[in-house]
Amino acid sequence: MVRTTVYLTEELKAELELAAEKSGESEAEIIRRGVAAAVAEIAANAARRPRIPLFTSSDPGLAERVDEALAGFGER
C-alpha cells in the first residue's frame, strides 16, 4: 500500500471516528472502501458518457459556417 494524506473537516473526522468504533474497522479501511466506491462510480459514469464526436459529419467546415447554414431557420 501507498501512504497518503487526506484532509477532512472536523465534522467528517468525528463521523469517521464514530463509524470506525461502531464497525470495528480502522479509519484507514473505511477511507479505502470509500475511495474505492467513489472511483468505481466515476468510472461507471465515464463509461456511460457520450464521446465526442457524437456523429460523423460529411461537412467538417459546417461549424464554421453555422450562421450561414441556419439563415432563415424558424422564420415563416
Query: How many domains would you assign to the chain?
Result: 1
Inter-residue contact 57 to 64 (CB < 8 Å): no
Q: In the chain, what is the greatest distance between 2 CA atoms, to the nearest angstrom?
A: 71
Torsion of CA 63, 68, 74, 76, to 10 degrees: -170
On whether residue 74 sits in a domain, the answer given is no
> What confidence score (pLDDT) does residue 56 get?
75
Task: Give the domain extent around 38.
Answer: 10-69
1-57 confidence digits (pLDDT tens)? 999 999 999 999 999 999 999 999 999 999 999 999 999 999 988 878 777 777 777
On whether residue 38 sits in a domain, the answer given is yes
On whether residue 3 sits in a domain, the answer given is no
On whether residue 75 sits in a domain, the answer given is no
DSSP characters over 5-73: -----HHHHHHHHHHHHHH---HHHHHHHHHHHHHHHHHHHHHHSPPSSSS--S-TTGGGGHHHHTTTT
On whether residue 40 sits in a domain, the answer given is yes
On whether residue 25 sits in a domain, the answer given is yes
pTM of the predicted model as reported, rounded to 2 decimal places: 0.61
On whether residue 29 sits in a domain, the answer given is yes
> What confidence score (pLDDT) does residue 33 get?
98
50 DSSP assignment: P
